[in-house]
Structure 1
């Protein structure tokens, strides 16, 4: 099992490939932050943090998958995202000192890197470029969320789903490297697409079947293959 230092470097490298992690300054910042980080294992169905709870850390998925979801007063639960390997989450509430607007529950057996406040501040202050890279990443996510909200109110089901796929491919890091034939595997589920687009799973399923018939994509185990 990779050590804490390896996990932190892998998480930062996957999200911010432009950061110079091999410099002396980076090594010093990472070394100072490590005592304030820890790895947490979660069994399927275990809650990492609850909706409305104080945000105590910044989180990154090292292995497994977490459902980020919120509940309504009537008991209905909507999944915002399935956070997969190397996905960072929890910044908005953590940095803003606000209660979390959603809960994080292990979708399957998972391991999460927990970056405590002191570790976060050491990285912000000591790791060159980290603050700018982090703000840019979450600004892009915020823009993507606003576009999805706009789509859910003003656009057709097809437009909403196309935008949801674009959001997952470009902003959520779900796209794998292109295959030799140019196709790209996008790891997502019908439930996640339905939640992002504000549509029923039946509508999503029908749309996927139409797009598959047109040769634009291919539903596969664990995701959707986008065809050229």
Structure 2
């Protein structure tokens, strides 16, 4: 393929390791899994690539195997509104896929990512035949509703530390994003894109949260120490100043990854 080939043109069969990162496959019966695996494709998305765009017809149900995507849309004033990020293990667009509607949002890669796609024909076949798949989709829709209610609350928050905390909590949702675990590989600039704040504000908010023992900033990522506090927005006073050098570590990773 040429460097200008579209993400769809760059699709390929998944490797065994990539299939191992798809959480819903384990919910299927052997015959259902065999049918699903035979139809799944993956694409190697470059930073800036669009996985789906507003108004385009739905052809796949998508998930992130590696990397980080953002979900956004442009408002009437031409400003971009970011709804959420999609880290590894996250599958999205099930509501659009169920209704076969055109997309109402854009999904774009923030960094080099591996994106998996399940064709609509197989998606609806699994809905018609697989109890395990239906339960997974129901859980997804339920968690997604709670996520977007929380996102509306975040939009109205004036305190950067609360915006960053609640946005981080959304990315550490174990139901929607089981591939994240305790550490999220993300740069300050990527976090700024997702939260809608400047990189400096994000840096200050991360230092605030780290001082209160809620997170720990590591080289190239963030470790959650108190997910309940991130979700509630209730933070204790810092027991000690944050360790110096953590912010430099994540900034260094941002520069290294471009």
Is 1:173 aligned with 2:177?
A: yes
Q: Which ranges in structure 2 are unaligned for 5 or more consecutive residues?
A: 1-11, 227-258
Q: Is the 8 A contact 1:66 1:106 kept in 2?
A: yes
1:52 alignment partner, SS class: coil
Q: How many residues align structurally? A: 214
Equivalent residues in 2 for 1:1-228, closer than 5 Å = 4=14, 6=16, 9-12=19-22, 14-15=23-24, 19=27, 21=28, 26-153=29-156, 156-171=159-174, 172-173=176-177, 176-177=180-181, 184-191=182-189, 193-194=191-192, 199-227=197-225
1:51 alignment partner, SS class: coil
- Deviation of 1:58 after TM superposition, in Å, equals 0.3
Q: Is the 8 A contact 1:186 1:225 kept in 2?
A: yes
- Deviation of 1:143 after TM superposition, in Å, equals 0.5
1:181 aligned partner: none
TM-score by length of 1: 0.74
Q: Which moved more, 1:90-99 or 1:190-199?
A: 190-199
Q: Is the 8 A contact 2:90 2:178 kept in 1?
A: no
Instruction: List per-residue Cα deviations over 1:133-185 (Å, max 9, x = no partner).
Output: 211122112212202312432675444333222222225427754xxxxxx42
Cα 1:209–1:89 shift into 2, 3 Å: same
Q: Is the 8 A contact 1:38 1:113 kept in 2?
A: yes
Q: Is the 8 A contact 1:70 1:77 kept in 2?
A: yes
Instruction: List per-residue Cα deviations over 1:91-130 (Å, max 9, x = no partner).
Output: 2222222221221223333332211111102222333321
Q: Is the 8 A contact 1:36 1:118 kept in 2?
A: no
- CA RMSD between the two structures: 3.2
1:54 alignment partner, SS class: coil
Cα 1:106–1:204 shift into 2, 3 Å: closer
Moved over 6 A (4+): none
- Deviation of 1:227 after TM superposition, in Å, equals 3.6
Cα 1:51–1:222 shift into 2, 3 Å: farther
1:224 alignment partner, SS class: strand
Distance 2:190 2:67 in 1: 16
- Deviation of 1:57 after TM superposition, in Å, equals 1.5
Cα 1:7–1:72 shift into 2, 3 Å: farther
